[in-house]
Amino acid sequence: MVVMATPRQFHVLAVDDSLIDRKLIEMLLKTSSYQVTAVDSGRKALELLGLNGDDDEEEEWSLSDGSDDSTPSVSSSNCREMDVNLIITDYFMPGMTGYDLLRKIKGSKSYRDVPVVIMSSENVPSRIARCLEEGAEEFFLKPVQLSDVKKLRPHLMERKRSDQGRS
């Protein structure tokens, strides 16, 4: 018997400094039954993933599995033990761009195989090409639509197949 993976089994880290855009992507992902953790900066994403070495402050992030409207908070120490299957990040954010975050993720041993998707409200071909060359799976123009979210599934399924091949 073949068991198909459902989106609920996938955990997506969404990174966007804009509250409105962050809530939109979170809603779209939840509508598609993904588990979502949303943060407002690249720095917080790196802390959550345990990639920046700063353990001085205890941050809280929004974690939602799409099962209800309440959004519990989970401390960073708990999040580091979670398996993140895909990261979707805004390109232009203060402090650290989505491109910088992409480079850090692709340069890490633990997360280099995690698919990363970049979003931007600006259609700049050279920026899009640079992100794709650096390892981004997709580049979505904002506002992100449900049709964009549907493009994530093949990347998640491909990673799941390659992970199963290693075990």
Give the pLDDT confidence of 109-120 residue by residue, as tens digits: 999 999 999 999
Q: How many domains does the structure of the chain reveal?
A: 1
Indicate if the pLDDT at residue 146 is higher than 80: yes
Give the tokens for residue 139: 């580049």
Q: Is residue 1 part of a domain?
A: no
Count Cβ atoms within 10 A of the Cβ of residue 122 and give its class: 0-12 exposed, 13-18 middle, 19 or more buried: exposed
pLDDT tier, 128 (very low <50, low <70, confident <90, very high otherwise): very high
Q: pLDDT value at position 167?
A: 56
Q: Is residue 31 part of a domain?
A: yes
Strand order in the sheet with 116-120: 73-75, 60-64, 35-39, 11-15, 86-90, 116-120, 138-141
The three state secondary structure string of 83-143 is CCCEEEEECCCCCCCHHHHHHHHHCCCCCCCCCEEEEECCCCHHHHHHHHHCCCCEEEECC
Q: pLDDT value at position 71?
A: 40
Q: Is residue 61 part of a domain?
A: yes
The rounded distance, in Å, linking the Cα atoms of 155 and 163 is 12
Q: Is residue 52 part of a domain?
A: yes
Q: Is residue 120 part of a domain?
A: yes
Domain at 90, CATH number: 3.40.50.2300
Indicate if the pLDDT at residue 104 is higher than 50: yes
The 10s digit of each residue's pLDDT in 18-48 is 999 999 999 999 999 999 999 999 999 999 9
Give the tokens for residue 102: 């992409």
Count of H-run helices and E-run strands, the chain: 7, 7
Give the tokens for residue 150: 């549907």
Q: Is residue 73 part of a domain?
A: yes
Give the tokens for residue 122: 């600006």
- Nearest CA to 48 out of 82, 91, 89 is that of 82
Q: Is residue 26 part of a domain?
A: yes
Q: Is residue 2 part of a domain?
A: no
Domain that holds residue 156: 7-166
More confident residue, 158 or 7: 158
Indicate if the pLDDT at residue 108 is higher than 90: yes
pLDDT tier, 8 (very low <50, low <70, confident <90, very high otherwise): low
